[in-house]
Amino acid sequence: MEQKKQFAYFEGKFVPLEEANISIMTSGFLYGTAIFEGLRGYWNERREEMYIFRLREHYERLADSMKIMHMVDLKYSIDELCKLTIELTRRNAPRGDTYIRPTIYKAAKQIGPSLLNNPTEMCMFTVPFGDYFHGVDGLNVQISAWRRVEDNAIPARSKIVGAYANTALAKTDALAAGFDECIVLSENGHVSEGSAMNVFMVKRGRLITTPSTENILEGITRGTIAEMAEAELGLKVECRQIDRSELYIADELFFCGTGAQIAPIISVDRRPVGDGKVGPISDKVRSLYVSICRGEIPKYSKWLTPVFNREAESLGKTAGKPAGTSCS
């Protein structure tokens, strides 16, 4: 079957993907001074529809990252960013799960990292995207010897491209040592997050996750779980510092993120988590999350933006941080 022509959004225009190229002198490439979002579109075969998950919330977070990185000269409203994302996805017309990657970058062609007098530009592409962890059900993870970037070094709450060198080192060493993933600690020794996902611990029927002050990216999936866990599963969610050794004696552990979705952890540093199998609560959270994302639970359709029908014009009806959660 002939591959449909793919488009990108690049510096103000939709262009064929192969024409969306930056110069090797671009500031964002030379210094990592770019920020991004990673969104997922979930394909619903029965309805022949693509649902973008929490579209608006991703752009609210992007706007925060832009503020931190002196990128507010790029004048797109959140509504415009949502519209561009829907339009690009429509043009590329995927018929399967899709990853959508907008990047905002410093575009001056000059030596020197200053963010001032350095125009900001934007690009976006879509690619087919299935499971992040291929062929593994429960993950074997290690505590990384690397530490998470500190807020006063590179703020982790902003999705800054340069900070992903930290992620890359941690992830690579975990894979090289034969693990599937890693958990990274902050300089203070407390748990921060996974390489590109947040962590939840289950202990005595409670869900516990690390606070936003622990150098984490404040994940949209994390907020989603915090919002629905009590309503749907009757689980209390607590947000507090987690010690490394608490991981070794947790009843269950799982990662969550746009890419990883819900990924149960079955061992940490070669110590089995619980009985070393995917735990029942992690499994329930995982099934519920997938059903929500695919548009199978009407109550949560507020989190989905359909791409191919006119409802898409409503641009993802939720706004702001998830309500009713003690987890920030």
What residues act catalytically?
159
Nearest distance from C-beta of residue 229 to ligand PMP, angstroms? 15
Cβ-contact 144, 177 below 8 angstroms: no
> Applying CB under 6 A, does 193 fall inside the site for ligand PMP?
yes
Dist. CA 51–CA 54, nearest whole Å = 9
Dist. CA 328–CA 321, nearest whole Å = 9
> Applying CB under 6 A, does 214 fall inside the site for ligand PMP?
no
How many residues touch ligand PMP under the rule CB under 6 A: the total is: 13
Dist. CA 301–CA 19, nearest whole Å = 36
Among 34, 100, 170, 196, binds ligand PMP (CB under 6 A): 196
Comparison of 257 and 279: residue with beta carbon closer to ligand PMP: 257
Binding positions for ligand PMP, 11-70, rule CB under 6 A: 38
Comparison of 218 and 251: residue with beta carbon closer to ligand PMP: 218
Task: Choose the stretch contacting ligand PMP; rule: CB under 6 A; options: 2-10, 43-51, 192-200, 296-304.
Answer: 192-200
> Applying CB under 6 A, does 261 fall inside the site for ligand PMP?
no
Among 108, 122, 185, 197, binds ligand PMP (CB under 6 A): 197
Please state at what angle helix 78-92 crosses helix 55-68, rounded to 10 degrees.
120
Binding mask 153-182 for ligand PMP (x = CB under 6 A): --------------x---------------
Cβ-contact 20, 8 below 8 angstroms: yes
Report the sign of the C-alpha dihedral through residues 23, 87, 228, 251, in that order. Answer: negative
Given phi > 0 = left and psi -120 to 50 = alpha, else beta, which region is 288? Answer: alpha
Q: What is the distance between the terminal CA atoms of the chain, rounded to a whole angstrom?
A: 47
Interaction site with ligand PMP (CB under 6 A): 38, 167, 193, 196-198, 217, 219-222, 257-258
